[in-house]
Amino acid sequence: MIIWLAPAMVIAARLLWQRMPGLGTCALFWGIAAASLLLGSPVGPSLLQLGAGIACNAAVTLANGGFMPVSTHWKRKGPARSLWVQRQSGQRLLFLADNFGNRFVRFSVGDVFLAIGLIMSFLGFQGSVRHEILAIAR
């Protein structure tokens, strides 16, 4: 039963952040995500990729008050109703924002790291870095 606690907490924190975007809920989500990753997995290639993705996305959202800047082809007026906001020149760490993709799907450097880490963990690259290097050397 305890195995489902970390994913449930991450999902609950994400839903809270989605409903009430801001710096506090953003920090809560990224803190729970990082803690569940660090406490639940051995250090390995997939953990390093997931950690890099969390670090990139956390850095850009925390630097921008809990919001993720998105580079889009259209501008939305009015207050932010979501954790994604239109990219503007006064925002910080814009190179880590959702800059890539097409007009329907936008993604960031952190999203790429997260996707690679998830794929690696599903394919079984979860062992320690030392174990992986020894396996390759044989």
Residue 65 lies in a domain: yes
Collapsing DSSP states into helix, strand and coil, what is residue 83?
coil
Residue 107 lies in a domain: yes
pLDDT exceeds 90 at position 105: no
Task: Give yes or no for a contact between 91 and 64, defined as CB atoms under 8 angstroms apart.
Answer: yes
Identify the DSSP state of 107.
E
Residue 69 lies in a domain: yes
**Packing angle between helix 23-40 and helix 45-63, nearest 10 degrees?**
170
Residue 69 main-chain phi, psi, to 5 deg: -65, 140
* pTM of this structure: 0.79
Ranges 35-49, 65-79, 81-95, 112-126: which has the least confidence? 65-79
**Domain membership of residue 82 as a residue range:** 42-137
**At a CB cut-off of 8 Å and minimum separation 6, what does 69 contact?**
60, 84, 85, 86, 87, 88, 91, 94, 97, 98
Give tens-digit pLDDT for 2-58: 667 888 898 999 999 989 999 999 999 999 998 888 887 677 788 889 889 999 999
pLDDT band at 1 (very low <50, low <70, confident <90, very high): very low
Q: Using CB atoms within 10 Å of the CB of residue 67, give its burial: 0 to 12 exposed, 13 to 18 middle, 19+ buried.
A: buried
Residue 20 lies in a domain: no
Give the number of domains in the chain: 1
The rounded radius of gyration (Å) of the Cα atoms in the chain is 17
Residue 73 lies in a domain: yes
Residue 17 lies in a domain: no
